[in-house]
Amino acid sequence: MAEIRELGSSEKAFLEAFLPQEVNSDLPFVTLTYAQSLDSKISLGPGLRTTLSGPETKAMTHFLRLKHDAILVGVATAMADNPGLNCRYPGATAESQPRPVVVDSEPKWQYNSSKVLELTKEGKGKGPWIITMRQGKDQSTPEDLKKHGGEIIPLEPTTGIPTAPTSGHIPWDTILKSLKKRGINSVMIEGGANVITNILGMPELVDSVIITIAPTWLGTGGVTVSPASKTEDGKPTSAANLTDTKYHQFGADVVLCGRLETVQMQARS
């Protein structure tokens, strides 16, 4: 594993306003962060782990992980990428590690053979929490997971037609509130495409957005982030917008910080 460098003071100053803050709410502070190509792809294809960002932005990712209580990904990403979801920023201790959270309705993630649990056993990360859909059967945490600090968290699914965006079948605010109740004050949502697309539709739940853009086009076969189109008064409008935007070049990439807003842009009439 390559060593992670410390961020410089101008890089830290750039990120400062978008880092987690104390929020007096039943929801945690939520940061959405991911890397994409110019053509809005996060990987070359389904299940293909793709290194998009350079070493400069990798350092940023680990700095951000240090600043959050939890890192959340969808099960598809956990299975395709087998990510470590820990923090390797200089000075990170076992205690300061973020909690890995995998949203896995069924569940189907094989945590036993995962990098996450491997790192937990080595003392380099916390045991994973698995958010799953409450069912009529026993959903207690197995001993092999419990002894490493992991937990199965069954949550109530949406009944009927969901009125809000969901992950699998669990409403996002249910997921986030359950994390806050467990002491998680800040969550960094890292992917994958379905999770990101979902979250972009919920400006009320997201506090910061931090996107790395790599100067490459992965091509039409890649996995795309693009929310469903919207219309307002019968006119097409943008699906999501950022406000308070700030950009900083990290190596060959650029990092964009902003906040989701609800006002949409329209086609010219």
Q: Could you list the residues that contact a copy of itself (CB under 8 A)?
A: 36-41, 43-45, 48-51, 200, 211, 213, 215-222, 224-230, 236-243, 245-247, 249, 252-254, 256, 258, 265, 267-268
Q: Which residues contact 36 (CB under 8 A, 6 or more apart)?
A: 42, 52, 211, 212, 213, 214, 225
Least Å from the CB of residue 264 to a copy of itself: 9
Measured CA distances, 86 to 43, 71, 104, 184 (Å): 21, 8, 19, 16
Cβ distance to a copy of itself smaller for residue 23 or 239: 239
Cβ distance to a copy of itself smaller for residue 147 or 247: 247
Least Å from the CB of residue 54 to a copy of itself: 10
Measured torsion, CA atoms of residues 251, 253, 254, 259, in degrees rounded to the nearest 10:
-120
Least Å from the CB of residue 193 to a copy of itself: 11
Cβ distance to a copy of itself smaller for residue 103 or 193: 193
Place of tokens 């053979």: 113
Cβ distance to a copy of itself smaller for residue 170 or 257: 257
Least Å from the CB of residue 184 to a copy of itself: 27
**Where do runs of H (alpha helix) occur along 148-192?**
172-181
Place of tokens 């056993």: 121
Least Å from the CB of residue 88 to a copy of itself: 18
CB 148 within 8 A of CB 121: yes
Measured torsion, CA atoms of residues 42, 31, 149, 142, in degrees rounded to the nearest 10:
-60
Cβ distance to a copy of itself smaller for residue 54 or 157: 54
- Count the neighbouring beta carbons within 10 Å of the beta carbon of residue 182: 15
